[in-house]
């Protein structure tokens, strides 16, 4: 019965995909969280410094992301609400107080400063259970 075989095969394939998703899949580099920055406003014409929009994204479609730390250089706490980004030490900032970003959730904040700070994810965990 070829059609039964095909059905069985389809089920097995789907089942293995289901098992394959989760921790192992999101541990893959393709799901690393990302930080994107865009400049919203150019300084210079007024005395206002340029404004940058920061977008932090959990790229894992299955698992909440927790305890995301960023390399943040000498980022100043005064530029941002610590609930969004808390400066713990030089070059160590934590996003959302370490609390979960849901699968594919994005968190946004703006800051104004004469130059852009480089912000890179350094450590994080996926909460797959």
Ligand X SMILES: *[C@@H]1O[C@H](CO)[C@@H](O)[C@H](O)[C@H]1NC(C)=O
Q: Rule CB under 6 A: which residues touch ligand X?
A: 40, 53, 108-110
Output the smallest distance, CB 53 to ligand X, in A: 5
Output the smallest distance, CB 30 to ligand X, in A: 27
Output the smallest distance, CB 32 to ligand X, in A: 23
Nearest CA among 87, 53, 54 for reference residue 72: 87
Do you know the residue count of the chain? Answer: 129
Structure-derived torsion over alpha carbons of residues 72, 76, 77, 78, reported in degrees to the nearest 10: -150
CB of 34 or CB of 110, closer to ligand X = 110
Evaluate whether 57 touches 80 at the Cβ level (below 8 Å): no
With CB atoms as reference, the residue minimizing the distance to ligand X is 110
CB of 50 or CB of 98, closer to ligand X = 50
CA distance 38 to 43: 14
CB of 26 or CB of 95, closer to ligand X = 95
């Amino acid at each position: 019965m070829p059609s039964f075989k095909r059905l069985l095969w389809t089920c097995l394939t789907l089942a293995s995909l289901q098992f394959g998703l989760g921790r192992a899949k999101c541990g893959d580099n393709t799901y690393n969280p990302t930080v994107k920055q865009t400049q919203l406003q150019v300084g210079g014409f007024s005395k206002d410094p340029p404004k940058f929009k920061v977008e932090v994204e959990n790229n894992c479609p299955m698992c909440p992301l927790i305890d995301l730390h960023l390399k943040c250089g000498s980022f100043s706490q005064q530029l941002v609400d610590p609930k969004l980004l808390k400066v713990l030490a030089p070059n160590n900032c934590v996003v959302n107080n370490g609390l979960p970003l849901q699968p594919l959730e994005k968190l946004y904040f703006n800051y104004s400063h004469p130059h852009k700070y480089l912000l890179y994810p350094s450590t994080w965990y996926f909460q797959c259970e």
